[in-house]
Chains A and B, each alone.
Chain A
Amino acid sequence: MSYSPSTDADRARMLRTIGVDSIDDLFVDIPDAHRDPALDLPEALPEVDVLRLVRGLADQNQVPEGVPSFLGAGFYRHFVPALVDQQLLRSEWYTGYTPYQAEMTQGTLQSMYEFQSLVCRLTGMEVANASLYDGATALAEAVLMCRAITRRPGVVMAGTVHPAYREVAATYTQAVGVDIRTVNGWSRSDAGVAPDVAAVAAAIDDTTACVVLQRPDFFGWVVDPTPVVEAAERHGAKVVYVVTDPISLGLLTPPGDLGADVVAGELRSLVGPPAYGGPGAGMLATRKAFIRRLPGRIAGRTTDLDGQQGFVLTLQTREQHIRRERATSNITTNQALVALGAAISISALGPGGVRGLATRSLSAAHRCAAALKGVGATVFDAAPYFHEFILHAPRGGEATVEALAAHGVFGGYPLGRVEPALDDALLVCATDLTTRADVEALTNAWQAIHRG
């Protein structure tokens, strides 16, 4: 029942060795009044029955297989090679612990080193850690890093950064004196919605520890960040980029070539479907100069006593188990298995595959926008975008999403949920997994709900 192999005979033998009469004798330190509470829990279920129970819950949920989905907004679906999950199901990967005994965990340590190296190549940065919880906490840690590096209190946060990421950054910094100033970074007019990079650049001053931009940003836009980077340079502020879809790096100029000091991102889309938001994996990459400010685990390459190549956890004096209250962060458990999956995925896809998924996503989104225009919809596409765009929803974003869902399509994310000024707009995403039939279902549903 509890997966314990012990028989009553085994237990009796162990009790004799210990020198006590019963298992109850091992729990005498628990206060009498509170020992052995009656728990209101259901009965045990054998494997088949528990599977039946959980499958019953799973079957109540709708999936893109049955309902074409144009949802993105920070959580993306891409093709993932079959070998990735085959690997993640290997016991030697998923039932191991943090590699504290290096000689017994060389596989995990080398894969971490390869992961870090691949993240650096994707982002154009010099060093990366071995993962954080998710993209949102990676941003929070990036902000804390920049505060520690610059000893300045201010953060200029573009309003085009994912709203949930901004909220998490606010939670993480509330107690330690960081002043986050959110600057819209976009403007609304009758003609639509357009980026406003100059407003972000103008908010940077000599108290700014860092400025945070997202690429592509929450609205899907790919904007030239040069004015912001130049302003940051003038004021000695660091530049942080958020990347919510690593596949975008297959096509877009990497943050390392755009003045990035820190890159914080989410890797989930390389490993599998959104899984209702987790587990994903946060990535954090920076310049070599700031390596000792990185939170979390880092694997390093070294040699053993025979001069043979080997790998270790390195720079551990940054971490909580050594440094305690002076650590760079409290993180210990990270998202190692998801990070491993990302490394395997990138390796299996190769440059052609990663770029291929990026260009197919870009094509799908632009063809989808064109198809919507073809049935009379308005797309706010004054700014260049990658695989996500803003669709005007004259009947209101929430109402439109509801009506589209009634026609069997998850049509997009209603932007009014986070920006009241955009309550007549949807964020629509298409990727390499979007089919012609999906787009047809969307345009048909759109026409149906706008007829008459």
Chain B
Amino acid sequence: MPGRRSIVASEPLIFELASPGRPGVRPPLAQFDDVEPASVLPEGQIRESLDLPEVSEIDVMRHFVRLSQRNHSIDTAIYPLGSCTMKYNPKINEVTARLPGLLEPHPYQPETSVQGLLALIHDLEAVLGEIAGFATVTTQPAAGSQGEMVGLLCIQAWLRSRGERRTTVLVPDSAHGTNPATATMTGMRVEPLGTAADGNIDLAELDAKLNDDVAALMLTLPTTLGLFEQRILEVTRRVHAAGGQVYGDGANMNAMLGRVRPGDLGIDVMHLNLHKTFTTPHGGGGPGAGALGVQAHLAPFLPGPNIVKNGSGYALEPAGPDSIGRVHSHVGNVGNLVRGYTYIRSLGRDGMREVADDAVLHANYLRARLAPHYDIPYDRICMHEVVLAGTRQRSLGVRTTDIAKRLIDYGVHPPTVYFPLIVDEALMIEPTETESIESLDQFAEAMISVAHEAKTAPDLLHAAPSAAPVRRLDEVTANRSPDVNWINAD
């Protein structure tokens, strides 16, 4: 049965909780005699007013606790967003990331005073290279998209070093939107590539589009259809034969841990999302960490500084002469590197493979349970996620949005919807390895129940959600006259 609406009243804005003169948290006691700002700063450089809300500490605490309770989270219930790998975030990661020796150091401390930190990052890069099959890994990118940009810039630089200039990037029509957006940011032209009926890349189309202007193929593995590219070796061989490089989007690495190393399959460069595969929390949208692995020929072009091990210990080595340059103010989202490292050392060798095994098992279990109730356009053994289509339900006048919103009433987070774009009314489900069979069954039963309601009581779906803090929201008005800053709203 759908849950009841637990939290109804809307929470005021922080600005509405303010009262002039109400004290906030006190700054530290003055250690020094005050210096009058006007005595040391030029005229016109001191602000006259600071219009921030004045809210008591307890009201700030309650406000943000109450807001947090209006969220769904992994620690609440299953969160099967396809392509997002919403798995359990181990709590020990939060403990290690907050150890003062890892949280406090300043980027410009002498290298001799941060040897443990540099050793951790250096070891993490080595371990990630071993897991994914790459000669060199940099952990500087802050997220997957930035890793993509670094990867394409490295490919451009490598081509330049060979006296070549190529400007086309082949992007399958099933790819994440970041792939084409990244190609544009690096000044390249996107050429879409079709998907064959079996869910693999259309080899004939690949051949037709490979030419001496193709710098790279961007390939998500497993694909966003949740399928392993069955002719992967043929695909990478043909791209290389045409003088191009293969960029791997590693968002779906969870399916492959310990089972296959993408670097062994002809992929030249690939990012790994530590916030997907390696359990650093998603944080409501970030921060992530996007390590990038490359084969040896691309290593000279990676961003710097790099952490190297020499005779006396670990050091930060400035970027070499061929480097594409820096992409972060220092060496990346270090806190998340600590979390990812903690996870990898917790799992060890055998734990890696267990992740992929159970992630793939759980997805196939849901595929089997849901197959009688939803269309599955590419129906074969899937990897860590399964893509359904709400086409049967559409013919009953119910859209995938309605299915998703009705699932909210059942207390489970809906799957990713309307992606990949090549599947009509797509519902992309990634349960991950950390859900129990009871949790998977509960989700399956909610999906089945909603499919049943689509036939018998479609209005329930059209009106959903009814058990959430708000009902469906007016996005059209929000877009047409954006209210994005409270001060302007008055």
Inter-chain contact A330/B346, CB cutoff 8 Å? no
Assign chain B's interface to a size class: 35 or more
Task: Judge whether B162 is part of the interface by a CB distance below 8 angstroms.
Answer: no
Inter-chain contact B106/A308, CB cutoff 8 Å? no
* Alpha-carbon distance between A152 and B260 when the two chains are bound, in angstroms: 47
The interface residues of chain B lying within 8 Å CB-to-CB of A90 are 65, 68
Q: State how many angstroms separate the Cβ of A408 from the closest Cβ of chain B.
A: 11
Inter-chain contact B73/A253, CB cutoff 8 Å? no
The number of chain A residues with a CB under 8 A from chain B is 214
Partner of B14, one of A64, A114, A308, A367: A114
Task: Judge whether A42 is part of the interface by a CB distance below 8 angstroms.
Answer: yes
Task: Judge whether A274 is part of the interface by a CB distance below 8 angstroms.
Answer: yes
Task: Judge whether B261 is part of the interface by a CB distance below 8 angstroms.
Answer: yes
The interface residues of chain B lying within 8 Å CB-to-CB of A127 are 482, 484-485, 488
Q: B349-377: which residues lie under 8 A (CB-CB) from chain A?
A: 349-355, 357-358, 360-362, 364-365, 367-369
The interface residues of chain A lying within 8 Å CB-to-CB of B48 are 253
Task: Judge whether A333 is part of the interface by a CB distance below 8 angstroms.
Answer: yes
Q: State how many angstroms separate the Cβ of B69 from the closest Cβ of chain A.
A: 6
Q: Given A110-B70, A274-B106, A336-B285, A35 and B327 touching (CB < 8 A)?
A: no
Inter-chain contact A30/B65, CB cutoff 8 Å? no
* Alpha-carbon distance between A113 and B486 when the two chains are bound, in angstroms: 8
Q: State how many angstroms separate the Cβ of B83 from the closest Cβ of chain A.
A: 10
Inter-chain contact B181/A6, CB cutoff 8 Å? no
Q: State how many angstroms separate the Cβ of B170 from the closest Cβ of chain A.
A: 13
Task: Judge whether B120 is part of the interface by a CB distance below 8 angstroms.
Answer: yes
Task: Judge whether A416 is part of the interface by a CB distance below 8 angstroms.
Answer: no
Q: A203-211, A233-241, A321-329, A442-450: which one contacts chain B?
A: A321-329
* Alpha-carbon distance between A199 and B333 when the two chains are bound, in angstroms: 36
Task: Judge whether B4 is part of the interface by a CB distance below 8 angstroms.
Answer: no
* Alpha-carbon distance between A275 and B333 when the two chains are bound, in angstroms: 9
* Alpha-carbon distance between A343 and B117 when the two chains are bound, in angstroms: 29
Inter-chain contact A121/B102, CB cutoff 8 Å? no
Inter-chain contact B47/A251, CB cutoff 8 Å? yes
The interface residues of chain A lying within 8 Å CB-to-CB of B115 are 60-61
Partner of A103, one of B63, B104, B470: B470
The interface residues of chain B lying within 8 Å CB-to-CB of A334 are 143, 285-287
Q: State how many angstroms separate the Cβ of B442 from the closest Cβ of chain A.
A: 13
Partner of A42, one of B345, B353, B367: B345
Inter-chain contact B94/A89, CB cutoff 8 Å? yes
Inter-chain contact A278/B177, CB cutoff 8 Å? no
The interface residues of chain A lying within 8 Å CB-to-CB of B362 are 6, 14
Task: Judge whether B330 is part of the interface by a CB distance below 8 angstroms.
Answer: yes
Inter-chain contact A106/B47, CB cutoff 8 Å? no
Inter-chain contact B487/A337, CB cutoff 8 Å? no
Task: Judge whether A218 is part of the interface by a CB distance below 8 angstroms.
Answer: no
Q: B267-291: which residues lie under 8 A (CB-CB) from chain A?
A: 273, 275, 279, 281-290
The interface residues of chain B lying within 8 Å CB-to-CB of A291 are 482, 484
Inter-chain contact B465/A61, CB cutoff 8 Å? no
* Alpha-carbon distance between A43 and B345 when the two chains are bound, in angstroms: 8
Task: Judge whether A262 is part of the interface by a CB distance below 8 angstroms.
Answer: no
Q: Given A103-B472, A276-B102, A57 and B116 touching (CB < 8 A)?
A: yes
Complex interface bits, B439-466 against A, C-beta within 8 A gives 1, otherwise 0: 0000000000000000000000000010
Partner of A137, one of B184, B232, B328: B328
Q: State how many angstroms separate the Cβ of A153 from the closest Cβ of chain B.
A: 13
* Alpha-carbon distance between A175 and B104 when the two chains are bound, in angstroms: 36
Q: Given A54-B342, A103-B465, A175-B186, A274 and B105 touching (CB < 8 A)?
A: yes
The interface residues of chain B lying within 8 Å CB-to-CB of A384 are 40-42, 45
Q: A396-419: which residues lie under 8 A (CB-CB) from chain B?
A: 401-402, 405, 410, 413
Which residue of the partner chain B has the closest CB to A406?
A: B110
| Central interface residue in B75, B114, B116, B261, by most chain A CB within 10 Å | B116
Inter-chain contact B146/A137, CB cutoff 8 Å? yes
Q: B399-450: which residues lie under 8 A (CB-CB) from chain A?
A: 404-405, 408, 413-414, 416, 419, 433-437
The interface residues of chain A lying within 8 Å CB-to-CB of B181 are 320, 323-325, 327, 329-330
The interface residues of chain B lying within 8 Å CB-to-CB of A354 are 50, 52
Q: Given A322-B177, A356-B27, A4 and B354 touching (CB < 8 A)?
A: yes
Q: B31-39, B204-212, B389-397: which one contacts chain A?
A: B31-39
Which residue of the partner chain B has the closest CB to A325?
A: B180
The interface residues of chain A lying within 8 Å CB-to-CB of B350 are 1, 44
Complex interface bits, A296-329 against B, C-beta within 8 A gives 1, otherwise 0: 0111111111101111101111011111111101
Q: State how many angstroms separate the Cβ of A349 from the closest Cβ of chain B.
A: 5
Q: State how many angstroms separate the Cβ of B3 from the closest Cβ of chain A.
A: 12
Q: Given A57-B120, A61-B105, A95-B74, A402 and B329 touching (CB < 8 A)?
A: no
Inter-chain contact A83/B103, CB cutoff 8 Å? no
Task: Judge whether B203 is part of the interface by a CB distance below 8 angstroms.
Answer: no
* Alpha-carbon distance between A230 and B354 when the two chains are bound, in angstroms: 63
* Alpha-carbon distance between A108 and B485 when the two chains are bound, in angstroms: 15
Partner of B32, one of A101, A317, A340, A364: A364
Which residue of the partner chain B has the closest CB to A92?
A: B68
* Alpha-carbon distance between A348 and B24 when the two chains are bound, in angstroms: 5
The interface residues of chain B lying within 8 Å CB-to-CB of A21 are none
Inter-chain contact A327/B184, CB cutoff 8 Å? yes
Q: Given A60-B101, A329-B181, A14 and B365 touching (CB < 8 A)?
A: yes
The interface residues of chain B lying within 8 Å CB-to-CB of A73 are 108
Task: Judge whether A441 is part of the interface by a CB distance below 8 angstroms.
Answer: no
Q: State how many angstroms separate the Cβ of A6 from the closest Cβ of chain B.
A: 5
The interface residues of chain B lying within 8 Å CB-to-CB of A170 are 325
Inter-chain contact B110/A401, CB cutoff 8 Å? yes
Q: State how many angstroms separate the Cβ of B199 from the closest Cβ of chain A.
A: 10
Inter-chain contact B84/A97, CB cutoff 8 Å? yes
Q: A2-55: which residues lie under 8 A (CB-CB) from chain B?
A: 2-6, 10-11, 13-15, 17-20, 23, 25-31, 34-37, 39-47, 50-51, 53-55
Q: A101-148: which residues lie under 8 A (CB-CB) from chain B?
A: 101-108, 110-111, 113-114, 116-118, 120-122, 126-128, 130-131, 133-137
Which residue of the partner chain B has the closest CB to A303?
A: B474
Task: Judge whether A252 is part of the interface by a CB distance below 8 angstroms.
Answer: yes
The interface residues of chain A lying within 8 Å CB-to-CB of B202 are none
Q: B144-188: which residues lie under 8 A (CB-CB) from chain A?
A: 144-146, 148-149, 153, 156, 176-178, 180-188
Task: Judge whether A194 is part of the interface by a CB distance below 8 angstroms.
Answer: no
Task: Judge whether A376 is part of the interface by a CB distance below 8 angstroms.
Answer: no
Q: State how many angstroms separate the Cβ of B21 from the closest Cβ of chain A.
A: 9
For the A-B complex with A41-B127, A95-B75 known, give 13 more contacts whose Cβ atoms are closer than 8 Å: A5-B437, A54-B345, A60-B116, A60-B117, A96-B282, A222-B45, A274-B105, A299-B484, A315-B482, A324-B177, A326-B184, A331-B145, A333-B286
A selection of 21 A-B contacts at a CB cut-off of 8 Å is A18-B361, A43-B348, A90-B68, A91-B73, A95-B74, A99-B285, A106-B469, A108-B71, A137-B142, A172-B185, A250-B50, A275-B103, A275-B334, A279-B289, A279-B335, A300-B484, A302-B475, A303-B473, A312-B475, A320-B176, A354-B52
Nearest 6 CB-CB pairs, A to B?
Answer: A277-B330, A60-B116, A350-B24, A58-B101, A337-B283, A44-B348
